[in-house]
Amino acid sequence: MTSSRLDTMRAMVAKSPSNALARFGLATEALKAQLYDEAVEHLRVYLDSHADEGNGYGRLAEALVKLDRVDEARDALRQGIEASGRFGHPGMVNEFEARLDELEGV
């Protein structure tokens, strides 16, 4: 990921802050760049405004674990399990349940 891609996504969000998919794209690029606080910020805005099917919650959990905010990561995974189940993604449910089990010991 290049900083130009990150800058492009930031500009898109600045131009259209209510664009949920631009927020998700920026969060994804921030996560790739290991800018975990920024990723969390944009994922939360995205999740508050968009009916995510589960993936966003998994990315949020990933960023929160990197920030050592394990309790919040567990909550994100639980929400992701619920959303992915609601949208018919059993593989994602299984993945998130396994990740949640790993975090239960932390």
SS3 17: coil
Instruction: Show the domain range for 100.
Output: 54-106
Tokens 């009916």 sit on residue:
51
User: Based on the domain organization, do 25 and 41 belong to the same domain?
Assistant: yes
User: Based on the domain organization, do 59 and 103 belong to the same domain?
Assistant: yes
User: Based on the domain organization, do 44 and 64 belong to the same domain?
Assistant: no
SS3 33: coil
- DSSP secondary structure code for residue 87 in this structure: T
Nearest to 58 by CA among 85, 36, 76: 76
For residue 26 the two structure tokens come to 């920026």
User: Based on the domain organization, do 20 and 60 belong to the same domain?
Assistant: no
**pLDDT tens digits, one per residue of 40-60:** 999 999 999 999 999 999 999
Domain count, the chain: 2
**pLDDT tens digits, one per residue of 21-45:** 999 999 999 999 999 999 999 999 9
User: Based on the domain organization, do 45 and 64 belong to the same domain?
Assistant: no
What pTM does this model have? 0.92
Q: For residue 71, how many C-alpha atoms fall within 13 Å in the half-sphere facing its CB?
A: 0
Percent of the chain with pLDDT over 70: 97
User: Based on the domain organization, do 70 and 98 belong to the same domain?
Assistant: yes
Distance CA 37, CA 97 (A): 24
